[in-house]
Structure 1
Amino acid sequence: MPKQVDHEARRRAIAEAVCRLADESGLEGVTLRDVAARAQVSMGAVQRCFRTKEEMLVFALGYVGERVADRVRARLLRSPAQSAGTALGHAATEVSLLRQEHRAEARVWLAFLAQAAVSEPLAVLLRANYAALEDVFTGLVAEATAPTADADARRAARTLLALADGLTGHVLVGHLTPEAAHELLDSHLAALLRT
């Protein structure tokens, strides 16, 4: 009887291998051969899961995006009695990937972001991820600040998302310490919630 293979579990294992390799040497260090070795599967198994390297990278980026989104959702659900402002702060903190335990994920995210500048399939997925996060942030901003118009909440959400996302790079290259980045994020949130 042939061995049953959980294809979704294998795809996730391959995505994990892509992420580990990207963390070590960027996406230029991700080859099908190295991914297969890191995932402990054959090259044929990788090729059965993904027709092309780009398809594999798109899946891996989606996998990383889902992990971040899952943490944001979990953080929001953990304390349902929290204020919208507190929830917004938690969501922005999760997106910024500033904590030490998320440093590898931040390097991988930025590697994908750089590659998306020259890969339309990756760019499409990133735009969808950012749009979904912007929607969450917009709802929280609207609830926390009671803006005069939906456009005000949307603009504030975009600004906060861009700040949270941008701080990741500043910390990774050593321009800001994680503490300084948190201070900037907290300062921006405090100003936003005062309006």
Structure 2
Amino acid sequence: MPRQVDHAGRRRLIAEAVCRLADERGLEGVTLRDVAARAQVSMGAVQRCFHTKEEMLVFTLEQIGERIGERVRARLVESPAQSAGTALGHAATEVSLLREEHRAEARVWLAFVAQAAVSEPLARTLTANYASLQEAFTRLITEAVEGADHAASLDPRREARTLLALADGLTAHVLIGHLTARQAHEVLDAHLAGLWERPARPPHHPNGSPGTR
């Protein structure tokens, strides 16, 4: 009988080879031939799994996004008693990829972000990933500030966008050495503390300051 091929498993194997090569050389150094050699499969096997290099890259980016998303979800459920604010901090830390064991993944992620600027399929995949994370951040911020004095003046969706952009920016700043991981954590913690401790804004009076006529 012919040997059964685990097609899904082979696609994941190839995606891991893409990640290792991208970490070493950047995406410009990823060729189908080198991916096949690194994954220890034939060129034909790679081409049967992916019709084009771009299709292979999109699948790899989806795999990275799923891996980060799984870690975020795991941090959210590992302690059901944690507050929404604590859960948000854990989630933002995962997205920032600040831990040493995620440094290679951070390099690959930013390589894909750069390539997405000139690749519409990669840009669509990244947009979907960011949208999913933004929804999770929005929900947690909404829960965390519920009942707070400044809840009415805070826009959870806008704050979620800000936090996601900050987390992504910290990834780059740590990778290039502008910030240490500790400093990046301090920036993230200070931003979150400001979010929870923000004083309520005075009501807006279109015709002047409060009490004026």
Q: Counterpart of 1:133? A: 133
Q: Distance in 1 between matches of 2:55 and 2:91?
A: 29
1:169 is aligned to 2:197: no
TM superposition shift of 1:190: 0.6
Q: Distance in 2 between matches of 1:80 and 1:53?
A: 42
Q: Counterpart of 2:44? A: 44
**Which blocks of at least 5 consecutive residues in structure 2 are unaligned?**
199-213
SS at match of 2:152: coil
TM superposition shift of 1:194: 1.5
Q: Counterpart of 1:89? A: 89
Q: Counterpart of 1:35? A: 35
AA aligned opposite 1:121: P
Q: Counterpart of 1:69? A: 69
AA aligned opposite 1:159: T
Trace 1:1-195 onto structure 2 (pairs within 5 A): 1-146=1-146, 147-148=151-152, 152-195=155-198
User: Which has the larger share of helix?
Assistant: 1
The count of residues paired between Structure 1 and Structure 2 equals 194
AA aligned opposite 1:91: A
AA aligned opposite 1:14: I
Bigger Rg, structure 1 or 2: 2
Q: Distance in 1 between matches of 2:10 and 2:186?
A: 40
SS at match of 2:82: coil
SS at match of 1:192: helix
State the superposition RMSD in angstroms. Answer: 0.9
| Moved beyond 4 Å, runs of 4+ | none
AA aligned opposite 2:134: E
Q: Distance in 2 between matches of 1:192 and 1:32?
A: 46
Percent identical residues = 76
AA aligned opposite 2:113: L
Q: Distance in 1 between matches of 2:58 and 2:113?
A: 11
Q: Could you report, residue by residue, the CA deviation over 1:127-169 in whole angstroms, capped at 9, with x for unpaired residues?
A: 00000000000000000013327x7000011100100111000
Normalised by the length of structure 2, the TM-score is 0.90
**Which blocks of at least 5 consecutive residues in structure 1 are unaligned?**
none
Q: Distance in 2 between matches of 1:190 and 1:164?
A: 15
TM superposition shift of 1:193: 1.4
Q: Distance in 2 between matches of 1:126 and 1:188?
A: 24
Q: Could you report, residue by residue, the CA deviation over 1:57-101 in whole angstroms, capped at 9, with x for unpaired residues?
A: 000000000000000001111111100000000000000001100
Q: Distance in 1 between matches of 2:16 and 2:80?
A: 31
